[in-house]
C-alpha cells in the first residue's frame, strides 16, 4: 500500500510552510510524518476532520507530557529535531489508539492575553454607559475561560497607558494606532465569571491543563511560560463553565449573574462558527434577557460577522476585526463599532462612540 498522497501533502505543507522558521521541531516532525507510510496509515484511522497536523501533533505532545512517550519527551526537551521525528513516528504507530482517543475529544486551543487589551476598555465603557457598579461576565466559546480574567491582567499600551493589574503574573502589551487614546477608565468589580463552550477546558483539572500545554509547540518556551501564568491566574478564581451550545445556554448563563450586577456577554472571534440564523438567534436571546434588566454585549469579530454591528465601510476579509458594543434594554438595542483591532488584539484603534464620555 502506498502513501495517501493528499494527506502526505498536508503534513509536508504544514512542516515546510506553517512551521518553517517558527518551530524547527515541528518543521521536521511534520515532514517526517508526511514521508512515513506507517505514520500516514495510523493517521488515516481517525475521522477525516480530525487528521489536521496541528491536532495530531498536539496529541503526540500530550502523550509526551503525560509520560507515555518518553523518547519523544526527551527529544523535545533536547530540541533534537531528528530524534523527535523518529520518536513521533514510533509513538504514532505504537500508540495509534491513544492518539485517536485524544483527537476524538479534543480541539486545538489558541490563547493569548492580547484579547484583554481589546476587552478591558470596551467592558469599562459598557459599565460606564449603564452606570454599573459591578458586572457579571459571560464569555461565549470560552475555551479555558482566560477572557474571564480580563480585570486581573496587566495591560500596557505603547502610548504609555496602563490598565488592569500592574502586579499580575499575566502581562500583555498592545499598540495603539489612529488619533485616539484608549480610555483609561477602570473596570468595576467582577462578581460573576461564566464561560460557555461545547468542550470547555477546566484549568483546575490536570488533564485539561496538560492539553492546553500540549497545544503550545514544544520549542516555544515563551509561549509555555505565558500559558503557565494564565493557567495559574485562572485557577485562583475558576470560572463557572457551562458545556453546550452557546445560543441555547445563554439565558441560563445570564440568569446566573447576580441581580444587582450588569450582565456583559463577550464574544472574541466566536460567532464565525455559527450560521447566520444562529447569530440572529443569539441576538434575540440578548434582547429577550433585557426584558428583565439591561444587558451589554462586547464583541471582537471579523468585519461583517457580528450582526447589526456597523462595519464603518470596512470590507469583509480585510485583515482586521471590529470591536462592537451593544446595549440591550431600551426601546431598541444601541449598537456601535467602538474600535478596530488586528492580530487578535496586539494592535487596536479606538474609535469611541456617541455615548463615550471623558477618559476618566
Q: Are 84 and 25 in contact (CB under 8 A)?
A: yes
Give the pLDDT score at 114.
Answer: 76
How far does Cα 322 stand from its chain's mean position?
16
Q: Are 25 and 81 in contact (CB under 8 A)?
A: yes
Give the pLDDT score at 59.
Answer: 98
Q: Give the number of other Cβ atoms within 10 Å of residue 220's Cβ.
A: 15
Give the pLDDT score at 4.
Answer: 53
Give the pLDDT score at 264.
Answer: 98
162-164: strand order across its sheet: 162-164, 154-157, 171-176, 347-350, 334-342, 321-328, 295-302, 262-268, 134-140, 189-197, 240-243
58 vs 37: CA distance, rounded Å: 20
34 vs 15: CA distance, rounded Å: 9
pLDDT profile of the chain (360 residues), mean per 10: 74 97 97 97 95 97 98 98 98 97 92 86 96 97 94 95 96 93 95 96 95 96 93 94 96 97 97 94 96 96 95 89 94 92 93 53
260 vs 211: CA distance, rounded Å: 37
Give the pLDDT score at 113.
Answer: 67
Cα–Cα nearest to 350, from 334, 339, 342, 358: 339
Global pTM value: 0.91
Give the pLDDT score at 330.
Answer: 75
Amino acid at each position: 500500500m502506498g502513501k495517501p498522497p493528499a494527506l502526505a501533502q498536508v503534513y509536508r505543507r504544514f512542516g515546510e510552510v506553517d512551521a518553517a522558521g517558527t518551530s524547527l521541531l515541528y518543521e521536521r516532525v511534520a515532514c517526517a510524518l508526511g514521508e512515513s507510510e506507517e505514520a500516514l496509515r495510523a493517521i488515516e484511522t481517525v475521522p477525516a476532520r480530525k487528521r489536521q497536523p496541528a491536532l495530531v501533533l498536539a496529541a503526540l505532545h500530550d502523550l509526551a507530557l503525560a509520560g507515555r512517550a518518553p523518547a519523544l519527551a526527551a527529544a523535545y526537551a533536547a530540541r533534537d529535531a531528528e530524534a523527535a521525528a523518529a520518536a513521533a513516528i514510533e509513538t504514532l504507530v505504537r500508540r495509534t489508539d491513544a492518539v485517536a482517543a485524544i483527537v476524538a475529544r479534543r480541539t486545538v486551543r489558541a490563547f493569548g492575553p492580547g484579547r484583554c487589551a481589546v476587552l478591558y476598555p470596551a467592558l469599562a465603557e459598557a459599565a460606564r454607559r449603564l452606570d454599573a457598579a459591578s458586572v457579571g461576565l459571560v464569555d461565549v466559546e470560552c475555551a479555558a475561560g482566560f477572557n474571564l480574567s480580563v480585570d486581573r491582567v496587566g495591560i500596557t499600551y505603547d502610548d504609555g497607558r496602563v490598565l488592569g493589574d500592574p502586579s499580575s503574573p499575566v502581562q500583555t502589551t498592545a499598540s495603539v494606532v489612529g488619533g485616539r487614546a484608549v480610555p483609561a477608565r477602570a473596570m468595576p468589580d467582577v462578581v460573576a465569571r461564566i464561560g460557555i463552550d461545547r468542550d470547555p477546558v477546566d484549568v483546575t483539572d490536570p488533564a485539561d491543563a496538560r492539553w492546553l500545554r500540549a497545544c503550545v509547540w514544544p520549542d516555544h518556551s515563551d509561549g509555555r511560560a505565558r500559558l503557565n501564568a494564565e493557567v495559574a491566574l485562572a485557577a485562583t478564581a475558576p470560572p463557572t463553565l457551562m458545556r453546550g451550545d452557546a445560543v441555547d445556554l445563554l439565558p441560563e448563563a445570564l440568569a446566573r449573574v447576580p441581580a444587582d450586577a450588569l450582565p456583559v456577554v463577550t464574544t472574541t472571534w466566536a460567532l464565525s462558527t455559527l450560521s447566520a440564523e444562529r447569530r440572529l438567534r443569539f441576538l434575540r436571546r440578548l434582547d429577550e434577557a433585557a426584558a428583565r434588566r439591561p444587558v451589554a454585549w462586547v464583541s471582537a469579530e471579523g468585519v461583517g460577522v457580528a450582526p447589526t454591528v456597523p462595519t464603518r465601510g470596512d470590507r469583509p476579509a480585510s485583515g482586521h476585526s471590529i470591536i462592537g458594543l451593544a446595549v440591550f434594554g431600551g426601546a431598541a438595542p444601541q449598537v456601535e463599532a467602538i474600535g478596530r483591532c488586528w492580530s487578535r488584539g496586539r494592535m487596536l484603534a479606538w474609535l469611541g462612540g456617541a455615548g463615550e464620555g471623558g477618559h476618566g
